[in-house]
């Protein structure tokens, strides 16, 4: 049975979370974390730091953490998958239990989680950091068989990023790479434009007669527009007859024909030697299973920004890309959101109210060549008057791309990997970029 949080609060007199859930005397609060990505892993680490008595169980199906940020550098040939893959060893030492398994069912009424391996875990609070679901059925022909040949590479790994890289390497000089992006909101809005930039950089060096066609479902570039356009003009001939990049806005992918290697839009069928088709996205299937995915026509999960608790399902907190918000669907926001949620719960478990006006930040770098990059940095503060997160003065983007920011980008990545996973100072990173 799904427990509606609005009804729950109304039934208890509209009490705040801290008042409704005082400190648990003589007991260890049981926390189950589903998903050890940027949000879930950061939450687990920081909750154990601030509330060591909490019993934290992390459930994660993968044996290693593979970073979606920087996966475009693998497609460009700058890094290998191993350079952006990290062990869960240090997180295992932090959590009370680290279970390599997949969650198949959640019962919010009984407060239990069931896994594919048949395990059942009870919880006082559930942290759902399961990411996104890709809706292949929205694109005619993008069935299981087609997915074996045409990759989205929006979840990094050998079967996606690794395969797409090999396809790009095998493509003949003079071939055409077609990438198709759905309408926002999507995970990491700047990523498709960075991907085009980095593949153009690879083609410029290795396959200079090749072309890139970008079919963007959006009416325009949705993130860092001026910076990307300037980079394309500077490095890849954009706006000239010799442009390596053919950018086509308002081209929503509607169909895929693998035999012909074409993507169909409302305008025409576009043929490519290599196709990178990214389908529409929504919050992970588990959020829909429990009734938390109600916002934006049932695509995303509304939350209470003070605690990241679902507005639909009591005692369930949503982290990362799944939330309905103006907060960026980005790694830094997931990491910072995990910390904010951990802080809020540590206060609640101690019988105190969390900060009534919390602040979260997000910084996102995009590379434009193999030596230049730029960033966007945003500070959000909660506004109790309208219960929203408001962008604060000082937020903004780079003025220009630079080699200095390329160096900062590398440092940013290593810092967020270390912070999320608890990697020690002695950890030896291998990524070149």
Residue for token digits 């290697």? Answer: 261
Query: Cβ–Cβ contacts within 10 Å for residue 247, how many?
Result: 20
In this predicted structure, the answer to whether residue 423 has a pLDDT above a threshold of 90 is yes
Cα first-last separation, the chain: 48
| pLDDT class of 253 with cuts at 50, 70, 90 | very high
- For 16-26, the pLDDT digits (tens) are 443 444 555 44
Q: Rounded CA gap, 58 and 128, in Å? A: 10
- For 424-433, the pLDDT digits (tens) are 999 999 998 8
3-state secondary structure of 340: helix
**Quick one: tokens of 86?**
């990290």
- DSSP conformation letters of 368-387: SSSS-EEEEEEEEEEETTTT
Q: Rounded CA gap, 354 and 21, in Å? A: 12
Domains and CATH numbers, the chain: 5-61+100-134+282-356 (3.50.50.60), 137-281 (3.50.50.60)
Q: Rounded CA gap, 279 and 267, in Å? A: 18
Say what the pLDDT of residue 392 is.
96
| pLDDT class of 76 with cuts at 50, 70, 90 | very high
Indicate the range of 16-25, 155-164, 177-186, 204-213 predicted with least confidence.
Answer: 16-25
Q: Rounded CA gap, 148 and 351, in Å? A: 52
Q: Rounded CA gap, 40 and 341, in Å? A: 10
- DSSP conformation letters of 13-47: TS--HHHHS---TTSPPEEEEE--SHHHHHHHHHH
Question: Which pTM was predicted?
Answer: 0.93
Say what the pLDDT of residue 9 is.
36
Distances 206 to 143, 164, 236 between C-alpha atoms, Å: 32, 16, 14
Pair type for strands 303-304 and 112-115:
unpaired
List the Cα angle 119/125/130 in 5-degree steps.
65
**Quick one: tokens of 422?**
């608890």
In this predicted structure, the answer to whether residue 15 has a pLDDT above a threshold of 80 is no
Say what the pLDDT of residue 27 is.
75
Q: Rounded CA gap, 70 and 405, in Å? A: 15
Say what the pLDDT of residue 4 is.
52
* Residues whose CB falls within 8 Å of the CB of residue 188, separated by 6 or more in sequence, listed in order: 68, 69, 329, 330, 331, 364
Q: Which of 341, 284, 318, 316 is nearest to 4 (CA)?
A: 316
Could you give the residue ranges of the DSSP H alpha helices within 96-161?
A: 144-147
Average pLDDT over residues 348-356: 96
Average pLDDT over residues 195-221: 98
- For 94-132, the pLDDT digits (tens) are 999 999 999 999 999 999 999 999 999 999 999 999 999
| pLDDT class of 13 with cuts at 50, 70, 90 | very low
Rg (CA), the chain: 22
Average pLDDT over residues 269-289: 98
Q: Rounded CA gap, 275 and 79, in Å? A: 21
Say what the pLDDT of residue 6 is.
43
Q: What is the dihedral angle through the alpha carbons of 319, 321, 323, 327, rounded to the nearest 10 degrees?
A: 100
In this predicted structure, the answer to whether residue 289 has a pLDDT above a threshold of 80 is yes
Greater model confidence, 223 or 24: 223
Say what the pLDDT of residue 24 is.
52
- For 130-155, the pLDDT digits (tens) are 999 999 999 999 999 999 999 999 99
Average pLDDT over residues 285-294: 98
In this predicted structure, the answer to whether residue 226 has a pLDDT above a threshold of 50 is yes
In this predicted structure, the answer to whether residue 14 has a pLDDT above a threshold of 70 is no
| pLDDT class of 328 with cuts at 50, 70, 90 | confident
**Quick one: tokens of 232?**
């394309």
In this predicted structure, the answer to whether residue 364 has a pLDDT above a threshold of 90 is yes
Q: Rounded CA gap, 275 and 288, in Å? A: 30
Query: Chain centroid to CA 173: how far?
Result: 33
Indicate the range of 26-35, 63-72, 96-105 predicted with least confidence.
Answer: 26-35
Say what the pLDDT of residue 17 is.
40
What percentage of residues in the chain have a pLDDT greater than 90?
92
Say what the pLDDT of residue 261 is.
98
C-beta separation of 123 from 113 below 8 A: yes
Say what the pLDDT of residue 10 is.
37
Distances 352 to 104, 196, 199, 269, 410 between C-alpha atoms, Å: 34, 48, 51, 59, 39
Pair type for strands 55-59 and 30-34:
parallel
Determine phi and psi for 257, rounding to 5 degrees.
-120, 100
What percentage of residues in the chain have a pLDDT greater than 70?
94
Residue for token digits 């790994």? Answer: 157
In this predicted structure, the answer to whether residue 171 has a pLDDT above a threshold of 60 is yes
- DSSP conformation letters of 177-197: EEEEE-PSS-SSTTHHHHHHH
């Amino acid at each position: 049975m799904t427990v509606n949080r609005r009804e729950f609060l109304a039934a208890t007199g509209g009490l705040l979370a801290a008042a409704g859930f005082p400190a648990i005397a003589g007991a260890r609060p049981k926390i189950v974390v589903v998903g050890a990505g940027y949000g879930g892993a950061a939450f687990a680490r920081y909750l154990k730091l601030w509330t060591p008595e909490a019993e934290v169980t992390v459930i994660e199906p993968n044996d290693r953490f593979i970073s979606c940020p920087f996966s475009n550098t693998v497609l460009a040939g700058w890094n290998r998958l191993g350079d952006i893959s990290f062990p869960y060893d240090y997180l295992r030492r932090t959590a009370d239990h680290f279970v390599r398994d997949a969650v198949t069912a959640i019962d919010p009424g009984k407060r239990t989680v069931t896994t594919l391996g048949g395990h059942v875990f009870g919880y006082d609070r559930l942290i759902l950091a399961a990411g996104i679901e890709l809706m292949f059925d929205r694109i005619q022909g993008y069935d299981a068989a087609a997915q074996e040949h045409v990759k989205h590479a929006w979840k990094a790994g050998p079967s996606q990023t690794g395969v797409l890289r090999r396809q790009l390497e095998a493509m003949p000089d003079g071939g055409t790479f077609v990438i198709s992006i759905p309408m926002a909101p999507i995970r990491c809005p700047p990523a498709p434009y960075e991907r085009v930039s980095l593949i153009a950089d690879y083609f410029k060096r290795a396959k200079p007669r090749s072309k890139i066609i970008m079919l963007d479902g959006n009416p325009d570039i949705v993130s860092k527009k001026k910076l990307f356009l300037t980079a394309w003009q500077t490095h890849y001939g954009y706006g000239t007859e010799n442009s390596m990049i053919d950018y086509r806005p308002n081209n929503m992918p509607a169909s895929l024909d693998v035999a012909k290697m074409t993507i169909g839009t409302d305008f025409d069928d576009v043929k490519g030697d290599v196709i990178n088709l990214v389908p529409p996205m929504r919050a992970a299937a588990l959020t829909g299973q429990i009734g938390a995915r109600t916002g934006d026509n049932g695509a995303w999960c509304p939350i209470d920004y003070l605690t990241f608790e679902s507005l639909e399902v009591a005692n369930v907190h949503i982290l990362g890309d799944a939330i309905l918000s103006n907060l960026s669907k980005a790694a830094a926001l997931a990491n910072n959101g995990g910390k904010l949620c951990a802080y809020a719960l540590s206060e609640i478990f101690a019988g105190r109210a969390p900060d009534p006006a919390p602040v979260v930040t997000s910084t996102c770098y995009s590379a434009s060549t193999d030596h230049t990059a730029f960033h966007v940095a945003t500070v959000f503060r909660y506004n109790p008057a309208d219960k929203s997160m408001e962008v604060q003065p000082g937020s903004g983007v780079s003025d220009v791309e630079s080699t200095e920011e390329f160096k900062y980008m590398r440092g940013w990545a290593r810092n967020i990997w270390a912070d999320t996973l608890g990697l020690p100072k002695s950890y030896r990173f291998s990524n070149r970029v």
